Amino acid sequence: MRQKIVAGNWKMNKNSEETEDLINELIDKLPTDLETTVIIAPTFVNLASAVDHTEFTHIRVAAQNMHQAEGGAFTGEISADMLKSIGVDIVIIGHSERRAYFHETDALLANKVETALKHDMTVIFCFGEELKDRSTKSHFNIVENQLRDGLFNLPESAWANIVLAYEPVWAIGTGETATPEQAQEMHEFIREIVRKQYGSTIADTVSILYGGSVKPDNAREIFSKPDVDGGLIGGAALKADDFVAIAEAI
């Protein structure tokens, strides 16, 4: 069974008090019988308090990034072990902002995925084409290469801990959303290349999230597509009412 997931990437937003307030609002407003897995990814400094605050709820907490090394002289970085030690066992890897602003390459991301899996973490692996790739009709190739380079060296057993997040870069934070048909077309393509590489059991059970300007007014239509299993949400995850409406739209 594929899991339905809605994950909120808070990016570099919300200080300690604001994090607590937003979590409290989410706890109040999220229906307790929701079958969708709800994940929030606050900043590193607020992860420990987020884990504490969500302890007796069904909200799960993820990190937005981690370093690939086990530890050592990497000033300013955070390891998988550190995350696990405060109760965080989900990590977003390969977000387009990490790829663009911090020059994270496919090879580096493959390394991070490997380290996260070694620590029994679940990886939300992000990938997606830029606008120029879509205009030159190379978007399918780009996406296939990102997947091959980032994940296709993994053994079959690793896929139980992988969630895919297709995020066309041109739709992130721009207000521009892929149409539900564009999202479905790409998600179906992604599932097919996973099928070719790993077989139907993995292809049919891996969750594929869509990310890129998902809002309460477009979520239902995007999530209604058969190969879209939920969303990775940026801007709209910062407002409890919007995030809850999106979670309820699955």
Active centre residues (catalytic): 95, 167
Q: How far is the CB of 3 from ligand PEP (least distance, A)?
A: 18
The residue (of 155 and 175) whose beta carbon lies closer to ligand PEP is 175
The residue (of 19 and 168) whose beta carbon lies closer to ligand PEP is 168
Q: How far is the CB of 151 from ligand PEP (least distance, A)?
A: 18
The residue (of 198 and 210) whose beta carbon lies closer to ligand PEP is 210
Among 243, 245, 211, which residue's Cα sits nearest to residue 228?
A: 211
The residue (of 26 and 202) whose beta carbon lies closer to ligand PEP is 26
Q: How far is the CB of 246 from ligand PEP (least distance, A)?
A: 9
Burial class (CB in 10 A: 0-12, 13-18, 19+), 9: buried
Q: How far is the CB of 231 from ligand PEP (least distance, A)?
A: 8
Structure tokens given for 176: 């521009």
Q: How far apart are CA 47 and CA 41, in angstroms?
A: 8
Q: Which residues bind ligand PEP (CB under 6 A)?
A: 9, 167, 172-173, 211-214, 232-236
Structure tokens given for 5: 């997931």
* Long-range pairs of 198-202 with CB within 8 A, sequence gap ≥ 24: 198/156, 198/159, 199/156, 202/156, 202/159
The 8-class DSSP code of residue 67 comes to -
Q: How far apart are CA 143 and CA 200, in angstroms?
A: 20
